A and B are shown apart, each in its own frame.
Chain A
Amino acid sequence: MIFTVVKRELLAIFRNPAEVFNPLVFFVLVVSLFPLGISPSETVLQTIAPGVIWVAALLSTLLSMELLFRSDFDDGSLEQMAISPQPLLLLVTGKIFSHWLVSGLPLVMLSPVLSIMLALGVEGIQGMLISLALGTPTLSLLGSIGAGLTVGLKKAGMLIPILILPLYIPVLLLGTSLIQTAAAGGDYNAHILWLAALLALSAGLAPIATTASIRISLSH
């Protein structure tokens, strides 16, 4: 059943592709602003690259977060999902997963190109791919809580980052330090395990919190 939800979500998203591409364009734009703003020198870029790419990933995920439940809330389908016999938890998990498919996964695939632009070596690029692949699902999962809490509000745009960015800090720290360790040629198994642990924890708990918050937002 979860695949039915994913299929429906993907179909809805691909009928309106601008929503998918805007956060990606934003991601690339933000990353390319840093060399312009700080310095184009390779040594500087190498030091800031992990942080820049991760911060841009956080921001662009949050940018697309508001749309996660918004259109379904506006046309009433979210309410229909909540009262349908299928558990809302599964429907929400499907929505979060499809959100990652269209916002997180493209970031992972784009990151090698950006890493080259920021002068990261081959090892660094490998680390970047692994850290983003493990970290971006956690971002989508945690962000969905904020989206669920604010879905009924008119001015949710600025609120979601305020609520959710503090929760993103562990992912940011672990993700960037994985890339730094990888770029320095170190062993980053511990980072992988920690990122995976965060992913498992948030995959287990975040959908429950999101479901509860959607029910609250619908109870107006």
Chain B
Amino acid sequence: MVKDLESLLSVNSRGMKKSQIRELLKLTADPSIISFAGGLPAADTFPVEELTQIINDVMSKEAHLALQYGATEGDTLLRTLLVERYRKQGFNISLENLIITTASQQALDLVGKIFIDRDDKIIVGLPSYLGGLSAFANYGAEMIGIPLDEEGMDYTKLKHALEDLNSKGEKPKFIYIIPDFQNPSGITMSEKRRLDILELAKKYDVLIIEDSPYRELRFEGTEVQTLYALDNTEQVLTLGTFSKIFAPGFRIGWVIGNKEILDKIVMAKQATDLCTPPFTQRIVARYIEKGYLDKNIEKIKIMYREKRDVMLKAFEEYMPPQIKWTCPEGGLFLFLTLPDHLDTSELFIEAIKEKVAYVVGTAFYCDGEGKNTMRINFSYSSKKMNVEGVKRLADVIKKYL
């Protein structure tokens, strides 16, 4: 009998911290809780009818391909369709510039794996997406956080950070940016900021990782070009996914970028899961081909806009005047800032008692700050529940003020 099983495991595993946020999220499983915590799309956006029809087609006509092993870089048909889609959006790319991953989480992990050695520096937003931070932390990255303003990552602070590193002869491995409807803040980076940051990246020879899961869900305002398309010199790797515009259960995402880098990612992917399921890839490909994806995106945008509007209105109505929130023009999230002396992890327990949940803001700050902030998802619950949840949340906050 082994007495100390843990001692036989990898240092990396033993060092793995139980994610506080995961522990908190477990509390939200109670169905009577209105949860603004998850990053989940609304289930009524799932195209069940179209899907069953396409599955029928795929299984009767191309099961020999869909059920067989596939290439690590992904289904050529799906890649071709995505490349065409992106070319229409100003991307100067060909087939070799796009590979399929098992959704964005895998892309983030593989990016971490191929670039980061322990103690390498990377630059991230304050706040930034938790799944990204955790994927990079996993490879021992040292994170330098740059605050956001209304136009995205603060240019002057980023410039200073890069200058400072440069003066010490150091170079960050990459800058991690979610330019559209950022998770968690909901902020969209302005075109000027994108151009300025691209220029900095070039000057200091730093790669930009552009994580773009929400971009197609813009329901207001004017579209801003992606960092990739603004540059088109392969200074940028762009990550995309079907999770928010189709269905997260399908686990399909992609990476766009320089061929050499993609070759490395493919090699690393081969050692992780060999290939993304060819079955689901082929279904999504046929789904796009039939024009269903674009129709579905239009439908989602209308739904989410209504949900956001209802929520913003409820904030106006119920929240005390000291509370500030962002007004995203798309995506799934908005961000709440409470007065400095309040701690949203203390409030969380009370909120659960009042049957409403959110994600504690500190989870998104690599420097442990943001104690007075929280992320709110407006896409998952119904409009009615959005209003009711905001009411409950406002009551909890008032108790602490």
Partners in one complex: no
Interface, chain A (partner B; CB < 8 A):
none
Interface, chain B (partner A; CB < 8 A):
none
